[in-house]
Amino acid sequence: MVKICCIGAGYVGGPTMAVIAVKCPAIEVVVVDISKPRIDAWNSDTLPIYEPGLDEVVKACRGKNLFFSTDVEKHVAEADIIFVSVNTPTKTRGLGAGKAADLTYWESAARMIADVSKSDKIVVEKSTVPVKTAEAIEKILTHNSKGINYQILSNPEFLAEGTAIDDLFKPDRVLIGGRETPEGRKAVQALKEVYANWVPEENIITTNLWSAELSKLAANAFLAQRISSVNAMSALCEATGANVSEVSYAIGKDSRIGPKFLNASVGFGGSCFQKDILNLVYICECNGLPEVANYWKQVIKINDYQKSRFVNRVVSSMFNTVSGKKVAVLGFAFKKDTGDTRETPAIDVCKGLLGDKAQVSIYDPQVTEDQIQRDLAMNKFDWDHPMHLQPTSPSSVKQELDYQKIFNNMQKPAFVFDGRNVVNADKLREIGFIVYSIGKPLDA
Ligand code: NAD
């Protein structure tokens, strides 16, 4: 029986391994992590992350061919294929701080693999890493190899949080990069055979290592760039009377552009887009390409601009101050169908409102009060003014809001600021609200 071990039981390691286990009953999959609370949660009825469909997949194979464990070394030693899916955040200090990827977790995982391995291994980069990371990993492993053969593969993950299980069941593509040597090709083939259990062959792409590593950064940069492009357009729409939804629809009908990822919003968030673009910027700078670096930097600048533009609109609409005014923030995670709040634009929005001394209440059915406290504390808030966190209640997850009742209880004029263009603005205006929808004229 082929044994797979995945180091890192996070948003990527957990769901990807659960899907491999459910699709490959003949493979034993063990997901390991140094975090005991995380592993305990994976072994409990309340999984550590929320993803539609994840509970069912985990329950179908946990204890059969899917296991979660803190015994990292034992399972790494026993595995034939080791996925490394540890976090690769932006460096906060030292060389490249604020841009480069922090590979501390990766390096310690690689050193541990070298320490405990007694048989040949295929080591798979599942984390998003800078191009050429495989070279560094190879050095660490081969200099400590004790005669063991290591093959490094790059197999970046393209799942999107909120649709992770669907994305994993039906991936647009699976990308595998390897060395162009006989051993490298053999390793690529072995990983291909795992995915071939459910992914059509034409959707499995094989490339050289550097193309695979760079493709992940490139994919995230292109996706984020699309959001920043439409958000930049939303500012122009507001200035001219155009409606960004109409513009998006019109341009998305062009088959060269396509309709996806063209919704204007308060900005992108999540743990990946910003960090991966910063990483790309750093790689460009290190390779003597400052003009290319500046091009990608602009994607982040527009995202920051969009968030502050939104806050400024709220404050200026409410007669230039929100001091002492009650503001309810609905939704805190970085997008729908996830409880992940990493880099959520809601943090910047709340920060802006609190900075002007608003009384902020926050509600998100997937996010706990502790999590919000932690996120806002991490972002160094001034806690002098009141802040209300609404307790979460699973029963209210899909509940419709009674806007008439809300309106009746509000001080007038009553405002709704829609940072995702999800409310029915016409209906709310009929009730009497003043509605601001991002990228749209005030009466649209
Ligand atoms: P995460 O923080 O949720 O999970 C990483 C896990 O690795 C943590 O639980 C941590 O305890 C564990 N870990 C760290 N060092 C370890 C070690 N030495 N041994 C054992 N466990 C260790 O991160 P994530 O969101 O799953 O992302 C993981 C990687 O995948 C990142 O590189 C990210 O950029 C990439 N990625 C993320 C997404 C996403 O949507 N979250 C999508 C595609 C790719």
Q: What is the pLDDT of residues 74-133, one digit of tens each?
A: 999 999 999 999 999 999 999 999 999 999 999 999 999 999 999 999 999 999 999 999
Q: What is the pLDDT of residues 171-213, one digit of tens each?
A: 999 999 999 999 999 999 999 999 999 999 999 999 999 999 9
- Amino acid identity of residue 94, one-letter, is G
Residue 158 and residue 173 in contact, taking contact as beta carbons nearer than 8 Å: yes
Question: What pLDDT shows up at residue 1?
Answer: 85
Confidence class for position 382, pLDDT limits 50, 70, 90: very low
Is the predicted pLDDT of residue 35 greater than 60, yes or no? yes
Residue 99 and residue 91 in contact, taking contact as beta carbons nearer than 8 Å: yes
Q: Are strands 150-154 and 28-32 parallel, antiparallel or unpaired?
A: unpaired
Q: What is the mean pLDDT of residues 386-398?
A: 48
Q: What is the mean pLDDT of residues 14-38?
A: 98
C-alpha–C-alpha distance, residues 400 and 338, integer Å: 19
C-alpha–C-alpha distance, residues 67 and 170, integer Å: 23
Q: Which residues contact 202 (CB under 8 A, 6 or more apart)?
A: none
Q: Report the topology of domain 3-199.
A: Rossmann fold (3.40.50)
Catalytic residue among 6, 61, 237, 272: 272
List the one residue out of 419, 435, 421 whose CA is nearest residue 247.
Answer: 421
List the one residue out of 61, 59, 7 whose CA is nearest residue 38.
Answer: 7
Confidence class for position 383, pLDDT limits 50, 70, 90: very low
Is the predicted pLDDT of residue 390 greater than 90, yes or no? no
Q: What is the pLDDT of residues 287-317, one digit of tens each?
A: 999 999 999 999 999 999 999 999 999 999 9
Q: What tokens does 389 get?
A: 């966190």
**Is 284 one of the catalytic residues?**
no
Q: What is the mean pLDDT of residues 392-410?
A: 74
Q: What is the mean pLDDT of residues 49-64?
A: 97
List the one residue out of 278, 284, 333 whose CA is nearest residue 300.
Answer: 278
Q: Across-strand partners of 330?
A: 363
DSSP-derived 3-state class of residue 4: strand
Query: Is there an atom of ligand 1 within 6 Å of 178 CB?
Result: no
From 7, 12, 274, give the residue whose CB has the most ligand 1 atoms within 8 Å, as the site to mutate.
12
Is the predicted pLDDT of residue 365 greater than 70, yes or no? yes
Give the mean pLDDT of the chain: 94
Q: What is the pLDDT of residues 205-249, one digit of tens each?
A: 999 999 999 999 999 999 999 999 999 999 999 999 999 999 999
For the CA of 128, the nearest atom of ligand 1: 32
Confidence class for position 399, pLDDT limits 50, 70, 90: low
Q: What tokens does 370 get?
A: 């502790």
- Lateral strand order in the sheet of 150-154: 66-69, 28-32, 3-7, 81-84, 121-125, 150-154, 174-178, 204-208
Secondary structure tally for the chain: helices H, strands E: 16, 13
Q: What tokens does 418 get?
A: 């829609």
Residue 48 and residue 88 in contact, taking contact as beta carbons nearer than 8 Å: no
List the one residue out of 69, 106, 83 whose CA is nearest residue 3.
Answer: 83
Residue 331 and residue 265 in contact, taking contact as beta carbons nearer than 8 Å: no
Distance 233 CA to ligand 1 centre (A): 34
Is the predicted pLDDT of residue 34 greater than 90, yes or no? yes
Question: What pLDDT shows up at residue 378?
Answer: 60
Q: What percent of the chain has pLDDT over 90?
A: 90
Q: Please give the helix or strand (H or E) that residue 9 lies within, else none.
A: none
Q: What is the dihedral of CA 36, 41, 42, 45, to 10 degrees?
A: 160
Query: Is there an atom of ligand 1 within 6 Å of 8 CB?
Result: yes
Write the DSSP string, 253-296: TSTTT-STT----S---SSSHHHHHHHHHHHHHHTT-HHHHHHH
Q: What is the pLDDT of residues 262-276, one digit of tens each?
A: 999 999 999 999 999
Q: What is the mean pLDDT of residues 402-426?
A: 96
Residue 179 burial (10 A CB sphere; 0-12, 13-18, 19+): middle
Could you give the residue range(s) of every CATH 3.40.50.720 domain in the chain? 3-199, 218-437
Helix axis angle for 345-355 and 290-317, nearest 10°, is: 50
Confidence class for position 398, pLDDT limits 50, 70, 90: low
C-alpha–C-alpha distance, residues 123 and 138, integer Å: 10
Residue 395 burial (10 A CB sphere; 0-12, 13-18, 19+): exposed
For the CA of 158, the nearest atom of ligand 1: 43
DSSP-derived 3-state class of residue 88: coil
CATH number of 218-437: 3.40.50.720
C-alpha–C-alpha distance, residues 187 and 182, integer Å: 9
Distance 151 CA to ligand 1 centre (A): 21
Q: Which residue has the tokens 């808030």?
A: 381
